[in-house]
Amino acid sequence: MVVLDIETEDGQREALRRMLTIRAFDTKAADLFSDGELPGFVHLYVGEEAVGVGACSALESDDYITSTHRGHGHCIAKGLDPDLMMAELFGKANGYCNGKGGSMHIADVDAGMLGANGIVGAGPPLATGAALTSHLKGEDTVALAFFGDGAVAQGQVHEAINLAATWNLPAVFLVENNQYGEATPVEKQHNVQNLSETAEAYNIPGFTVDGMDITAVYEAVKEARKRAADGEGPTFIEAETYRYHGHFEGDQQPYRTEEDVAIWKDRDAIESFKRRLVDAGTITEDEFDEMKAEIDQQIEDAVGKAKDAAYPDPSEAYEDMFNAAVPEISDFSSGMRADGGEDR
Amino acid sequence: MSTETSSGTGPDQTKEMTIREAIRLALREELERDDDVFVMGEDVGKFGGVYEVTGDLVEQFGEERVRDTPISEAGFMGAAVGAAATGTRPVVEIMFSDFIGVCSEQIINQMAKNRYMFGGKTEMPVTVRTTEGGGSGAASQHSGTIHTWFAHFPGVMAVAPATPASAKGLLKSAIRSDDPVIVFENKQIYEQKGEVPLDDDFTIPIGTASVEREGEDVTVVATQRMVGESLELAEELAGQTSVEVIDLRSLYPMDTETLVESVKKTGRLVIADESPLSYGTHAEVATRVMENAFYSLDAPIQRVGVADVHIPFSPALEEEVLPHGSDVEAAINRIV
Ligand SMILES: Cc1ncc(C[n+]2csc(CCOP(=O)(O)OP(=O)(O)O)c2C)c(N)n1
Ligand SMILES: [Mg+2]
């Protein structure tokens, strides 16, 4: 696997590839959802690619991340396999969670991805916990929490940052300020101008960076990671970004106009990064088109494979609750289906 | 005890509407009736609420009384408790009942306890509305049925409508009550239609169950989605087995009398509720019937619910764990 280190030319191409992969994956997910092929909800990362990829390129491969309901981008940025992600979106047995989790719960703990999360604000405490492990075991891993602007209104987010700051843990708190929590604009949720100002309350460094610029995100996280690894505690980073799609697929978006979206699309992170790489001679237009075509094909293939894959056997529904076996689950599930009571 | 009150001045008219519309109507009427009532929750205003239940209320009542909150369940649930203690009547929406995990403290240690701890010297007119239930592929953090936790917890009343009329009547009683009431709305039945009294003083007393269909051979006590599915089943079985279907409606307080009377007649009981089985709502219904009608029982009580697992994402798995009319039928077949 190519290392994601955007200080090298290979790494820059890989970063571009991952951003394109996220966009292709989530654009495809949108189509599939509107065709009624995906169950549940999907929340897409289109527009925010520079944040996930910029951050993950500043991490070491055994570092941890926690994610959100809008997690596909974090997964791909962290190097997860789109085939297995797509299988999970379809609820297939070979998906990352064997079909039990779906879009909102993709996890690969071995790869350091501690889970997308359906509970807004639940990720940062988990990142504090992963940083605590690393502290207790004397490991040199760092934990980074991705969370939304909306999540900054959750008490548990502040408790998590305060713990990490007070215990000087190797954590990075990265807010993806995409300007809305569902339909509510950020200024109706918070009384500060920049969310990074809250860092002051914990006496940790706080920065606001341009989340449409992968290099800006990369540099901020790189520095934060270094502080964390050097035992200097957590950093709070706010990346200003924008989601191009609705909050969830199917959202009518009464809270914004096409023009609002267009302003951000003009500053598209993939487009601007590509331009920089072309200008620097790191990639040619043709190579870019080829890369894009290859990725589109990869995602098409992922969909094909996911559709062909088997659903989990219904009996799997009763597996995985505990490490230990408990009699209740099997007794109840078989008892409810039984034809005749033993007592009769 | 299963009498609907219809005491107001309005005409004795009904109108067909969905459960969603009936809840919105109840909110509208209570907001009109009492200036102290206000609605609060995430995107309940312009966006219209998570399942479009609050809808256009903000247009009529404004942003002060149909109040959008940041994503701060602990904060605004606590604010509701404080506001209620000081003279208002908050109606809080928690988008998914699973998220009550985030704000249980304010429910458990404040809302439920203050009146008692203060020697009865405060009232707690909070209404919490929240959604429950699987069936939409929303996975384990957006599909739970958790009403047992709060029906169990002393100091909280809990209701769970199954029809448009009970959705309206129970919610209005909850808002008018000086005690805290949590209304558990199953999200699969929002589109279900039925006749709803238009009388703006129509309420259903909390603590009353309703016999939705009379029968002789077996009693099915059901909640929420399982009421409709049990009624359909009863219709299918008619001629073969005579099934009495009771909508429990009020989880706490519970209408023991109506349940006991029915089982004394039929001698058989099936309890259908989407909660996990262990220590669940089923167990409470079963216990009350055994305590009061043990000698009338002709067969073991049957429980239909979820087998102590969370609701999984994959349609193949979700379908497996959710209770349905077919499970009620299997339960009836085991004892009739
Ligand atoms: C505890 C909790 N409350 C509410 C929700 C419903 N919800 C899901 S996403 C969301 C908005 C989150 O906004 P933000 O944190 O800014 O993330 P974004 O969606 O913008 O990426 C809300 C309110 C939830 N999932 N969990
Ligand atoms: Mg946001």
The dihedrals phi and psi of A335, each to the nearest 5 degrees, come to: -60, -40
pLDDT score recorded for residue A301: 98
Contacts of B295 (CB under 8 A, 6+ apart): none
| Mean pLDDT across B9-16 | 82
Provide, rounded to the nearest whole percent, the portion of chain B with pLDDT above 70.
97
CB within 8 Å of chain A, chain B residues 107-166: 136-142
The dihedrals phi and psi of B151, each to the nearest 5 degrees, come to: -65, -30
Band the pLDDT of A343: cuts 50, 70, 90. Answer: very low
| Mean pLDDT across B251-261 | 98
3-class state of residue A194 by DSSP: coil
Band the pLDDT of A2: cuts 50, 70, 90. Answer: low
Question: Which ligand has the nearest atom to the CA of A152?
Answer: 1
Is it the case that residue B2 has pLDDT exceeding 60? no
Centre of ligand 2 from the C-alpha of residue B69, in Å? 14
pLDDT score recorded for residue A340: 57
Question: Which residue from B278, B312, B327 is facing A100, i.e. has the nearest CB?
Answer: B312
Please answer yes or no on whether A97 and B75 come within 8 Å at the CB atom: no
The dihedrals phi and psi of B162, each to the nearest 5 degrees, come to: -125, -15
In angstroms, the CA B3 to CA A328 distance is 38
| Mean pLDDT across B184-212 | 98
**Contact indicator for B44, B70 with CB cutoff of 8 Å:** no
Please, where are the H alpha helices in A230-284?
Answer: 258-265, 269-279
> Residue A154 has what DSSP assignment?
S
In angstroms, the CA B77 to CA B92 distance is 7
Chain A nearest C-alpha distance from B5 (Å): 37
Q: How many CB atoms lie within 10 A of CB B222?
A: 28
> Rounded mean pLDDT of chain A?
96
Tokens representing B227 are: 């009421």
| Mean pLDDT across B178-190 | 98
> Does residue B310 carry a catalytic annotation?
no
pLDDT score recorded for residue B11: 67
pLDDT in tens, A60-96: 999 999 999 999 999 999 999 999 999 999 999 999 9
In angstroms, the CA B198 to CA B16 distance is 10
CATH of B14-201, one of 3.60.21.10, 3.20.20.105, 3.40.50.970, 2.60.40.1180: 3.40.50.970
- List % helix, strand, coil for chain A (3-state, nearest 5): 50, 10, 40
* Chain A residues closer than 8 Å to B70 by CB: 150, 153, 181, 184, 188-190
Tokens representing B36 are: 């102290």
Centre of ligand 1 from the C-alpha of residue B219, in Å? 42
| Mean pLDDT across A240-252 | 95
pLDDT score recorded for residue B336: 96
**Contact indicator for A236, A177 with CB cutoff of 8 Å:** no
Query: Which part of chain B is CATH 3.40.50.920?
Result: 210-335
Please state the three-class secondary structure of A27-56 as a single string: HHHHHHHHCCCCCCCCCCCCCCHHHHHHHH
Task: State the pTM of this model.
Answer: 0.96
In angstroms, the CA B272 to CA B302 distance is 9
Mutate to test the interface with A, among B71, B106, B304, B318 (most CBs of A within 10 A): B71
**Contact indicator for B91, B127 with CB cutoff of 8 Å:** yes
Tokens representing A139 are: 């490991």
Is it the case that residue B95 has pLDDT exceeding 90? yes
pLDDT score recorded for residue B240: 96
| Mean pLDDT across B265-277 | 98
Domain B210-335 belongs to what topology? Rossmann fold (3.40.50)
Mutate to test the interface with B, among A68, A86, A119, A175 (most CBs of B within 10 A): A119
**Contact indicator for B140, B149 with CB cutoff of 8 Å:** no
pLDDT score recorded for residue B259: 98
For chain B, say whether A87 makes contact (Cβ under 8 Å).
no
pLDDT in tens, A287-323: 999 999 999 999 999 999 999 999 999 999 999 999 9
Is it the case that residue A126 has pLDDT exceeding 60? yes
Chain B nearest C-alpha distance from A208 (Å): 21
The larger pLDDT score, comparing residue A341 to residue A119, is at A119
Please give the order of strands across the beta sheet that includes A64-66: A64-66, A143-148, A171-177, A235-240, A206-210
Please give the order of strands across the beta sheet that includes B218-222: B210-213, B243-247, B218-222, B269-276, B302-306
| AA identity, residue A129 | G
In angstroms, the CA B304 to CA B329 distance is 10
Q: How many CB atoms lie within 10 A of CB A319?
A: 16
To the nearest 10°, the Cα dihedral for A140, A176, A97, A85?
A: -110
A181: β partners: A184
Query: Which part of chain B is CATH 3.40.50.970?
Result: 14-201
Query: Which part of chain A is CATH 3.40.50.970?
Result: 9-312
Tell me which H or E stretch contains B24. helix B19-33
**Contact indicator for A181, B72 with CB cutoff of 8 Å:** no
**Contact indicator for A340, B335 with CB cutoff of 8 Å:** no
In angstroms, the CA B103 to CA B108 distance is 9
> Rounded mean pLDDT of chain B?
96
Q: How many CB atoms lie within 10 A of CB B87?
A: 9
Least confident window among A12-16, A142-146, A158-162, B1-5: B1-5
Provide, rounded to the nearest whole percent, the portion of chain A with pLDDT above 70.
98
Q: How many alpha carbons lie under 13 Å from residue B266 in its C-beta half-sphere?
A: 31
> Residue A113 has what DSSP assignment?
B
Band the pLDDT of A336: cuts 50, 70, 90. Answer: confident
| AA identity, residue B223 | T
Is it the case that residue A338 has pLDDT exceeding 90? no
> Residue A193 has what DSSP assignment?
S
Alpha-carbon distances, residue B153 vs A146, A193, B20, B97, B148 (angstroms) = 35, 41, 27, 16, 8
Among protein residues, the one with the nearest Cα to ligand 1's atom 17 is: A148
The dihedrals phi and psi of A261, each to the nearest 5 degrees, come to: -70, -40
| Mean pLDDT across B149-165 | 98
pLDDT score recorded for residue A81: 98
pLDDT score recorded for residue A253: 94
Q: Chain B: residue nearest A89 by CA?
A: B314
pLDDT score recorded for residue B12: 86
Active-site annotation holder among B142, B185, B261, B318: B142
Q: Which residues line ligand 1 (CB under 6 A)?
A: A 68-70, 118-120, 148-151, 178, 180-182, 247; B 42, 71, 73, 95, 99, 102
Is it the case that residue B180 has pLDDT exceeding 50? yes
CB within 8 Å of chain B, chain A residues 243-282: 254-255
Instruction: Label the pairing between strands B210-213 and B243-247.
Output: antiparallel
CATH of A9-312, one of 3.40.50.970, 3.60.21.10, 3.40.50.720, 3.40.50.40: 3.40.50.970
In angstroms, the CA A308 to CA B4 distance is 54
> Does residue B147 carry a catalytic annotation?
no
